[in-house]
């Protein structure tokens, strides 16, 4: 931080300025300015001897030296005050982290778990800084709070000064889900980030889970047998309340009246309140069952434990034959979880009066696809990113995918495989009529708008996770942004290990025979 410039005032023939830095420190020097010395001596030195001229020059030299000393002291005081402020901020932050670490340790020793749906009992990661208000965290779930730290000052860079700055989240309007949070930054222009939400996340129960929801793949005898066995074990051994779908409850009651304790729901209103009752969701099936489980929750989603009983298992790392050991570990905790981002999609019709007059929003875990349907004409789509024109899509269509859906339709259309905890949106064309049209990966905070132009030869069709197909006529638009409620899925080991194992086992990624060792070699 640079000190403020010195102000001079002339009273009569002399100047008595006081130097003051930006932080309020006042210099104890009272000195003469060069201009004042010149005015003082101008009248007296005319016609005098040479020694008076030399004396006047000496006074000017003394005035310059005093001025430099005053400026140096003010600069040193300003720098000392700034380093003191940074030390106090760092010390306060360390005390907060120390207190939270101690609280987490005490809670771990005294309690076993917490209701995940209660914002007051949300699991907090020890060592993370939570600077935003409780209302923001309750509204948006897990928030990311980054701390910018300055490195150690170089001894030979004392004369170098860089502009100080402060960073903050950009908030797009009052109705935006992106709330503004100040980020602490230090001077000298060095930006470093610490503690990001994309780190491996561990869930620790603070009170025992009480209610479990079990969702199953339909029309499978093996799943039906396993479901009945699991319900019995969870009830008798773990004393848990169990919810199932109405279809599954009828199947269980047809086998035995013992399962009369199993609960279900009657209408859509009760489904909307499931997240307030359920502590844990168990899925028995493949990735499609996980997608079905995520679609049931229009807001916050309880942690999901997915068991592999389907065709593909990119999101189902748990094995059904070891379900007792797996559930014992999950209910005891702590467990590693993967936060799988979802897209929030709105269809805006041409007849809408404003941007907020939309159809019911749709949440997707894999992707939203805009294609040409049964039409023989190419799709014509105009794409915008935060109101900036991106490109026009002419081809079979476009895929907007989450990173969890990068191994689904987007991969088949030429998109990249992306780690599910990378916060981004995949922009993948389907059979574009241009060789230079390559896929993009955009940051998670952008809003994408896909517009059907009025000169389009035919309408387009949008499908959300492969269902809920909607026709988009010329003039209609589809708006997609990242939803504030991710889908937390439990990990068998951790998110990276599970992801790499899934692409090796599910896709046989980069699998080939090893090169023979007895072939030709470099001499």
60 token code pair: 């000017």
**Residue 167 φ then ψ, to 5°:** -105, 150
**Separation of alpha carbons 405 and 107, rounded Å:** 36
In DSSP terms, 326 is beta-bridged to none
Q: How many CB atoms lie within 10 A of CB 222?
A: 11
* CA distance linking residue 200 with residue 495, whole number of Å: 7
**Joined tokens for residue 141:** 């779930």
Task: Say what angle helices 221-238 and 246-255 make with each other, to 10 degrees.
Answer: 80
Q: In the beta sheet, which residues pair with residue 367?
A: 401
Q: Is 315 helix (H, G, I), strand (E, B) or coil?
A: coil
Residues contacting 156, CB < 8 A, separation 6+ = none
Instruction: Examine the residue annotation and report whether 287 is marked as an active-site residue of this protein.
Output: yes
The DSSP bridge partners found for residue 182 are 168
Q: Is 267 helix (H, G, I), strand (E, B) or coil?
A: coil
Closest-CA residue to 112 (of 274, 286, 258, 330)? 330
- For CA atoms 130, 136, 141, 142, give the dihedral sign: negative
Cα dihedral 326, 332, 334, 337 sign: positive
Give dist(CA 513, CA 520) in Å, integer.
Answer: 17
d(CA 71, CA 520) in angstroms, rounded, equals 75
42 CB contacts (<8 Å, ≥6 apart)? none
Give, to the nearest 10 degrees, the angle between helix 50-110 and helix 34-45. 170
Cis, peptide link before residue 334, omega less than 30° from 0: yes
Contacts of 236 (CB under 8 A, 6+ apart): none
- Active-site annotation holder among 287, 465, 476, 498: 287
Annotated catalytic sites, by residue? 287
């Amino acid at each position: 931080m640079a000190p403020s410039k010195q102000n001079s005032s002339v009273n009569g023939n002399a100047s008595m300025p006081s130097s003051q830095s930006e932080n309020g420190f006042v210099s104890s020097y009272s000195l003469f300015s060069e201009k004042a010395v010149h005015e003082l001596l101008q009248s007296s030195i005319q016609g005098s001897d040479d020694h008076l001229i030399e004396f006047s020059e000496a006074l000017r030299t003394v005035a310059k030296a005093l001025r430099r000393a005053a400026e140096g002291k003010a600069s040193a005081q300003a720098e000392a005050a700034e380093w003191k402020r940074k030390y106090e901020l760092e010390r306060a932050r360390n005390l907060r982290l120390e207190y939270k670490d101690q609280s987490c340790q005490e809670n771990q020793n005294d309690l076993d778990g917490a209701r995940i749906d209660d914002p007051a009992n949300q699991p907090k990661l020890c060592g993370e800084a939570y600077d935003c208000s409780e209302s923001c965290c309750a509204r948006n779930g897990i928030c990311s709070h980054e701390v910018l730290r300055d490195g150690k000052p170089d001894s030979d860079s004392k004369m170098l000064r860089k502009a100080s700055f402060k960073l903050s989240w950009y908030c797009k309007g009052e109705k935006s889900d992106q709330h503004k949070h100040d980020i602490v930054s230090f001077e000298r222009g060095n930006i470093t980030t610490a503690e990001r939400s994309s780190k491996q996340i561990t869930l620790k129960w603070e009170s025992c889970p009480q209610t479990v929801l079990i969702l199953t793949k339909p029309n499978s005898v093996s799943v039906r047998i396993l479901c009945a066995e699991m319900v019995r074990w969870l009830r008798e051994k773990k004393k848990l309340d169990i919810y199932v779908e109405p279809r599954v409850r009828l199947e269980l009651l047809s086998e035995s009246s013992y399962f009369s304790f199993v609960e279900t729901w009657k209408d859509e209103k009760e489904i909307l309140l499931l997240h307030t009752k359920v502590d844990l969701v168990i899925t028995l099936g493949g990735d499609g069952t996980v997608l079905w489980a995520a679609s049931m929750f229009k807001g916050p989603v309880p942690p999901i434990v997915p068991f592999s009983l389907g065709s593909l298992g990119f999101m189902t790392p748990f094995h059904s034959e070891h379900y007792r050991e797996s559930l014992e570990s999950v209910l005891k905790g702590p467990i590693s979880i993967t936060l799988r981002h979802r897209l929030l999609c709105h269809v805006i019709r041409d007849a809408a009066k404003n941007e907020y007059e939309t159809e019911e929003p749709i949440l997707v875990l894999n992707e939203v696809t805009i294609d040409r349907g049964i039409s023989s004409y190419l799709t014509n789509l105009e794409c915008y990113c935060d109101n900036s024109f991106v490109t026009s899509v002419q081809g079979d269509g476009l895929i907007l995918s989450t990173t969890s859906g990068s191994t689904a339709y987007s991969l088949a259309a030429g998109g990249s495989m992306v780690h599910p905890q990378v916060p981004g949106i995949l922009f993948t064309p389907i059979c574009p009529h241009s060789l230079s049209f390559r896929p993009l990966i955009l940051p998670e905070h952008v809003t994408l708008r896909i517009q059907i132009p009025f000169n389009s030869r035919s309408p387009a069709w949008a499908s959300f996770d492969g269902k809920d197909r909607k026709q988009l006529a010329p003039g209609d638009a589809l708006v997609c942004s990242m939803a504030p409620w991710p889908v937390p899925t439990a990990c068998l080991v951790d998110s990276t290990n599970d992801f790499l194992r899934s692409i090796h086992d599910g896709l046989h990624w980069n699998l080939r025979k090893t090169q023979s060792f007895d072939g030709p070699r470099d001499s």
